[in-house]
Amino acid sequence: MTLLTYPDVSIKRCNTVNPADRIPFDFEGEAHDCVAEALRFTKLHPDLDSIPLMDRHGCIMENYFVDGSCSKDHLGNHAGFAVVKHQGNDFTEEILEHCPQPCSAQLAELKALTAACVLGKGKVVNIYTDSAYAHGVCHLFGAVWKQRGFKKSDGTPIQHHMQIVKLMTALMYPQKLAIIKCQAHKKGNDFVMRGNNAADEAAKKASKCAVPIMTELPMDIVSFATPPSPAALVQIQSRASIFEQNTWLQRGASVDRHGVWRTHDGAILATTTLLTLLINDAHDLDHCARGEVIRKIKKQGFWSPYLQAIVDEILSNCEICAKNNIRKGRTTPIGH
């Protein structure tokens, strides 16, 4: 009180609201559970679950696995998504769709989730995804974005806001819906692991990317002990995609009397899968440079329109070369 009597001290009313004044008394407001209220606030609608729904009598129960893929080859970026259905002990590809560019892996995941919701209209549906982003849109921050008009703090739209709006609409289609997060790239006999891996492979197929997908090859090709027989070459070339075979035709390739695809000068066309093995075989022994790898493959009589691009891709991911090949560093600008 003595301080208030000093002549150089003036007393004024503070117009700023004290947060303590907003704390309700015990007799004010409605009783509630804060955790339950927070869960209700972050749910896009009350029937959306994050754990698998159990099969119920009289309901059509479906289990879908979704995935999106975005890869890059010598032609640029390629994206696609897939919806795979669990049926008995097998998994069937319900939807395979290529996404026009620009399209990221996150956007492809949202498209896959939207398509699965539309596919499960009027049904009890479990949808499994390995995308933390897509799962978070549905269970965590989607409702917050909706209340804020799908805008960030600076007033600009959030990323993929148009597709998120479509997803929120599609979430209303199933009778009951659970969107479950599963681990990615896990091996095992569990039906969730097998379903997620099936969706992953289907999404890569839907993206139509020329990046090789490894498949089982004839042993006389894998071992490289002897030159592969024409029958083995026909077998592996028959597994090439239509896109790849069309590229061969555009480059002037043709089929010889044994059924083997060859260039105009007689070189054997290597599929992207076979090309990966050829590059690893040529590079792994002495970790030679790009030009030497290409020379070795051509000396074996193979060629591919993707040869240089895939050699660059594989050599750039070689850990031994990265650790031992000393390259000139970037010069630091003056003043830093």
- Per-residue pLDDT reduced to its tens digit, 66-105: 999 887 766 678 889 999 999 888 899 999 999 988 888 8
54-88: b or e for each residue (b if 16 or more CB lie within 10 Å)?
eeeeeeeebbbbbbbbbbebeeeebbbbbbbbbee
Residue 108 pLDDT = 93
Residue 125 corresponds to which amino acid? V
Tokens of 31: 């009783």
Tokens 């959030």 sit on residue = 158
Residue 31, pLDDT above cutoff 50: yes
User: Phi/psi zone of residue 261: left (φ > 0), alpha (ψ -120 to 50 degrees), beta?
Assistant: beta
Question: How far, in whole angstroms, is CA 104 from its chain's centroid?
Answer: 8
Assigned CATH for 219-324: 1.10.340.70
Mean model confidence pLDDT for the chain? 83
Say if residue 194's pLDDT is above 50: yes
Residues 6+ apart with CB under 8 A from 112: 66, 67, 68, 81, 82, 83, 95, 129, 134, 199, 203
Q: How many residues does the chain have?
A: 336
Q: Minimum mean pLDDT among 171-180, 208-217, 264-273: which range? A: 208-217
What's the mean pLDDT in 281-293? Answer: 86
Which amino acid type is present at position 147? Q
Which tokens is 96 given?
């395979």
- Range with lowest mean pLDDT among 174-188, 237-251, 321-335: 321-335
CA distance 250 to 257: 20
**Residue boundaries of the structural domains of the chain:** 48-207, 219-324
How many whole angstroms separate alpha carbon 7 and alpha carbon 71? 75
In angstroms, the Cα distances linking 265 to 65, 232, 246 are 46, 21, 18
- pLDDT tier at 48, thresholds 50, 70, 90: confident
What is the per-residue pLDDT for 118?
A: 94
Angstrom distance (rounded) from CA 30 to CA 85: 45
Q: For position 66, what pLDDT does the model report?
A: 95
Would the pLDDT of 13 be above 90? no
- Give the contacts of 231 (CB within 8 A, at least 6 positions apart): none
To the question of pTM greater than 0.75 for the whole model, the response is no
Of 228 and 161, the structure prediction assigns the larger pLDDT to 161
pLDDT higher at 191 or 336: 191
Quick one: pLDDT at residue 186? 77
H/E/C letters for each residue in the chain?
CHHHHCCCCCCCCCCCCCHHHHCCCCCCCCCCCHHHHHHHHHCCCCCEECCCCCCCCCCCEEEEEEEEEEEEECCEEEEEEEEEEEECCEEEEEEEEEECCCCCHHHHHHHHHHHHHHHCCCCEEEEEECCHHHHHHHHHHHHHHHHCCCECCCCCECCCHHHHHHHHHHCCCCCEEEEEECCCCCCCCCHHHHHHHHHHHHHHHHHCCCCCCCCCCCHHHHCCCCCCCHHHHHHHHCCCCHHHHHHHHHCCCEECCCCCEECCCCCEECCHHHHHHHHHHHHHCCCCCHHHHHHHHHHCCEECCCHHHHHHHHHHCCHHHHHHCCCCCCCCCCCC
Which structure tokens are listed for 100? 């026009």
**Are the folds of 48-207 and 219-324 the same?**
no
So what's the pLDDT on residue 223? 47
Residue in the block written with tokens 């075979």 = 245
Average pLDDT over residues 272-290: 85
CA angle 293, 295, 297 (to 5 degrees): 70
Q: What is the pLDDT of residues 212-256, one digit of tens each?
A: 444 444 444 444 545 678 888 888 888 887 778 888 888 888 999
The CATH number of the structural domain formed by 48-207 is 3.30.420.10
